[in-house]
Structure 1
Amino acid sequence: MKSRRKFIQQSSALGLSHLLLPSFLSKASTKENTPSSKWADGSKLMVSISMQFESGGEPDNAESPFPQNLEKGYRDLPAKTWYEYGYKEGIPRMLDNWDRLGVKVTSHMVGTAVLKNPQLAREIVERGHEAAAHGMNWSSQYNLPYEQEKKFIKDGVDAIKNITGFNAIGYNANWLRRGENTLNILQELGFKYHIDDLSRDEPFVIKVNQQDFAVVPYTLRNNDILLIEGKNFSTDQFFNQVKAEFNQLYFESQFKRRMLSISFHDRIGGTPQMVKSTYDLIKYIQNHKGVSFKRKDEIASLALNDANTIRE
């Protein structure tokens, strides 16, 4: 019995050494292959928050939580009020919350929503947030000819510029579905980045017509329209999911630069329960060293001007 105990102890020690060695080497290798584990501003992990400004620009009978059983020829009036909540209550509440937390976000604005609620669009910019483009309306653009798609994007940009004075340099297509020509059009119109990409947990740089163009990845995992509306998550589930994502990325930020993306929509993320949960979540994140909150135009600028940024 004594010899068996000794055998188990020896076997355990050998097993642990076998398991620990690759982990150690892997971590060391990661550090060695990464020129810098911090961004140029000194942060290890950047938090990128989207606040989608879409309500007011939706078409009649747009998708909503109500059953899709309305007879043809009738307007979905209850659904209309669901969208109205976004600009009457949602964005104003979120704006106050961002001020309380001391963070700035990026608001992707639909052109027709901006024209319907110009004062609110101006307020977003006046309170220090980025205005980014989100098309002129909720139409698809991936299936448009080059010149029509260019006009669709430019009309949205012009609406933002004319109302807020902000020159949008970031773009988000409807449901991320850009077309084969979209990036060339964005570059031609003076954009610096787009977010219609889910492939990384950090910003990276691509070539568009042999010129650098930034990608600031978006998220479906930490997105209220998918989780709260689409999957009927509770606020506790949303909180815990994003918290788990942050905890893992924060661990990884010890040896590589990371970015956490979170997305809120005016009529969903601006509800009282979501704003309270968001406040608690952001306060939790802010208690960790090396974390910074940045607008997407700031993240794109960091990525474009950093020689260590991943380039594809």
Structure 2
Amino acid sequence: MTTRRDFIQMAGLTGAALLANPVDAFSNHKKEEKMEASIKNKWLDGSRLVVSISMQFEAGGQPENAESPFPQNMQKGFIDLPALTWYQYGYKEGIPRMLDNWDKHGIKVTSHMVGSAVLQNPALAKEIVQRGHEAAAHGMNWSSQYAMSYEEEKKFIKAGVDAVKNVTGFTSVGYNANWLRRGANTIKILQELGFTYHIDDLSRDEPFIIQANQKDFVVVPYTIRCNDIVLVEGKNFSADQFFNQVKAEFDQLYAESEFKRRQMSISFHDRIGGTPQMVKVTSDLIDYMKKHKGVSFKRKDEIAKMTLEDKTSIRE
């Protein structure tokens, strides 16, 4: 597959080379182009396409009368009790069911954990880590950190990290802001606190490196295209629609991965992705993906580590 940029570059090179030796010049250039592409499209471990799954651990840490499938018309001073049970489903049924599904398929995921949710259900948070999954930070609560001062935001992020660490023993190196809405100081703060990556970026389909405080910092892109809260909850997709959309994304990225490095992200939330029908279609999706040669499933801390070690990683 030749991109428009490749075509323009090749046209300039071959135009000059053909004047000297038309046949050899074109043949040598094609060999060099093929070798260069094979280097850049391969992941450091030899994977062709990396699939990264997020499992949001938020239920139990939501504010009072948080957004839910129910009409947002509660009178002030009353608690939305049905909505409360919707969130409770996330830690009573959703995450346990998803954990069994990951074990069934032998894959590990990244769980973005809200600090207050972890403190509310410490045994479940600890189980996630004990079963081999990554505990990434997701703030202390659902506050809008982009509106905080530098010091307020730093305390907010650290409080969430400490909650996860104290309960699970896992030191988070990855971060996800509430609805991806980080502030102007967030990346600088994350680097200062010892993080190696964040996911609040939709700009690429592969990880890349940026500079934070003059040091390398990884962006492991997230998704709202293959995200249950946006599709199933926000757009009222059915489980089969979710399956078809995620499958189409996979098929296209797999085709592209023959020529360039590709990462696919899928996101599940405890009270949505952990429902019976969603776990069933997720299992079917994983079965489908595993039939393709060179597909691997990785935690986001693993992706960040590979990106830092790979000299061919994109830098911005």
TM-score above 0.5, yes or no: yes
Q: Which whole-Å CA distance do the structure 1 matches of 2:64 and 2:213 have between them?
A: 38
Pair 1:274-2:278 in alignment:
yes
Q: Could you list the per-position Cα deviations for residues 240-279 of structure 1 after superposition, in whole angstroms to 9, with x for gaps in the alignment?
A: 0000000000000111110000000000000000000000
Q: Which whole-Å CA distance do the structure 2 matches of 1:241 and 1:33 have between them?
A: 32
Compute the displacement of 1:229 (Å).
0.2
Match of 1:210 among 206, 211, 214: 214
Q: Which whole-Å CA distance do the structure 2 matches of 1:189 and 1:48 have between them?
A: 24
Q: Which whole-Å CA distance do the structure 2 matches of 1:30 and 1:142 have between them?
A: 44
Q: Is the 8 A contact 1:31 1:256 kept in 2?
A: no
The runs of 5 or more residues in structure 2 that have no matched partner are 1-6, 12-29
Q: Is the 8 A contact 1:48 1:259 kept in 2?
A: yes
1:82 equivalent in structure 2: 86
Q: Which whole-Å CA distance do the structure 2 matches of 1:37 and 1:277 have between them?
A: 29
Match of 2:145 among 133, 141, 144: 141
Match of 1:240 among 240, 244, 248: 244
Match of 2:73 among 57, 69, 77: 69
Cα gap change, 1:31/1:78 in structure 2, threshold over 3 Å: closer, same or farther? farther
Percent identity over paired residues: 74
With the length of structure 1 as denominator, give the TM-score of the two structures.
0.90
Q: Is the 8 A contact 1:133 1:156 kept in 2?
A: yes
Q: Is the 8 A contact 1:129 1:295 kept in 2?
A: yes
1:9 equivalent in structure 2: none
Compute the displacement of 1:281 (Å).
0.3
- 2:105 maps to a residue whose letter is L
With the length of structure 2 as denominator, give the TM-score of the two structures.
0.89
Cα gap change, 1:31/1:242 in structure 2, threshold over 3 Å: closer, same or farther? farther
For the residue of structure 2 that corresponds to 1:237, the secondary structure is helix
For the residue of structure 1 that corresponds to 2:267, the secondary structure is strand
Q: Could you list the per-position Cα deviations for residues 180-211 of structure 1 after superposition, in whole angstroms to 9, with x for gaps in the alignment?
A: 00001000000000000000000000011110
Pair 1:254-2:258 in alignment:
yes
Cα gap change, 1:72/1:99 in structure 2, threshold over 3 Å: closer, same or farther? same
Pair 1:48-2:52 in alignment:
yes
Cα gap change, 1:200/1:30 in structure 2, threshold over 3 Å: closer, same or farther? farther
2:182 equivalent in structure 1: 178
Q: How does 1:156-235 map to 2 (within 5 A)?
A: 156-235=160-239
Q: Which whole-Å CA distance do the structure 2 matches of 1:33 and 1:181 have between them?
A: 37
1:18 equivalent in structure 2: none
Match of 1:114 among 110, 115, 118: 118
Pair 1:291-2:295 in alignment:
yes
Compute the displacement of 1:31 (Å).
4.5
Q: RMSD of the TM alignment (CA)?
A: 1.5
Pair 1:309-2:297 in alignment:
no
Q: Which whole-Å CA distance do the structure 1 matches of 2:70 and 2:307 have between them?
A: 41
Q: How does 1:29-44 map to 2 (within 5 A)?
A: 31=34, 34=37, 35-44=39-48
